[in-house]
Amino acid sequence: MAGAIRPYAAAFAARFQLMLQYRAAALAGFATQCWWGGIKVMVYAAFFANAAAGDTPITLSQVITYTWLAQAFLVLSPWTGDPEISQAVRTGAIGYERLRPIDTYNWWYVRAAAWMTARALPRALLMLAAAGVAFPLLGLEAWSWRPPADTLAFGLFALSMVLVVLVSSAFVMLLNISAVVTMDERGINTLVASLLIALSGNLLPLALYPDWMQTFLLIQPFASFLDIPFRIYFGGLTGWAAAAGLALQVFWTLVMIVIGRAWMTQVMTRLQMQGG
């Protein structure tokens, strides 16, 4: 068993360490996300200032915490397929993937997981230091990243974030396979980014959408990338509701892996390479 896992663990570690070297990109991403996070917080503050008391399903402090969490873990969402796979499709180097004596799906999956987590980790730590530590010290506690609702919420949030990596990697695999089929990743990436912004909670916390949409918004797959773990964090989902959210993340992970594996098997048996 250990021998079978070793190449995938090595692939994860190598990609993770490689992505951590891009410190300038991490700093630039952090600065950009701070800027957009600040703008969104000010918009929410204006909205809640003009909303009737008790007329919103979540409080302003919860929305602000949600916003900083979304900015901190922005790159854990599957905005695009793996750029290395897209490049390999264009150059024809994808043929080398078929020569490796390992499972191609597993190989791409662990590399996608490393690619996302390594980019998210430094940005999340910087965002926590700024919005969670520096803001209260500077007298901006009302606009800060608040602690989790309680210890149980934090534990469930940590588990949910692990599931975010798993489900996002499974979705990235679908984008990778789509790039192999179409030989151009730009169309599917543009479409997915639009859906992700609207349905994951990135544009607006899903709890603020109309009541008649709430069931659909919770069970659809994009909520598993962002909204579910963040609602667990600030206590918006507790007890059986939190367990249901975690179960949905597991469900969509398994569904995407099954679909991705079946699709990849079909595609790779008729693979056409271009370039040289």
pLDDT at 53: 62
Structural domain span for residue 212: 2-268
The better pLDDT of the pair 135, 94 is held by: 135
In a domain, 273, yes or no: no
pLDDT at 2: 61
pTM beyond cutoff 0.85: yes
Per DSSP, the residues of 154-206 read HHHHHHHHHHHHHHHHHHHHHHHHHHHHHS--HHHHHHHHHHHHHHSSSSS-G
Tens of pLDDT, residues 143-186: 999 999 899 999 999 999 999 999 999 999 999 999 888 877 78
The better pLDDT of the pair 219, 88 is held by: 219
Tens of pLDDT, residues 100-122: 778 889 999 999 999 999 999 99
Q: How confident is the model at residue 188 (pLDDT cuts 50, 70, 90)?
A: confident
CA nearest to 66, candidates 238, 204, 248: 204
In a domain, 13, yes or no: yes
In a domain, 25, yes or no: yes
In a domain, 276, yes or no: no
**Among all chains, which residue has been given the structure tokens 């909670």?**
201
In a domain, 274, yes or no: no
In a domain, 85, yes or no: yes
Long-range contacts of 96-100 (CB under 8 A, 24+ apart): 98/268, 98/271
In a domain, 219, yes or no: yes
Domains: count for the chain: 1
Tens of pLDDT, residues 235-266: 999 999 999 999 999 999 999 999 999 999 88
pLDDT at 182: 80
Residues near 236 by Cβ (< 8 Å), separated by ≥ 6?
A: 58, 62, 207, 230
Chain Cα centroid distance, residue 255? 17
Structure tokens at 103: 């499972």
Residues near 234 by Cβ (< 8 Å), separated by ≥ 6?
A: 58, 62, 65, 66, 146, 148, 149, 153
In a domain, 216, yes or no: yes
Chain Cα centroid distance, residue 122? 15
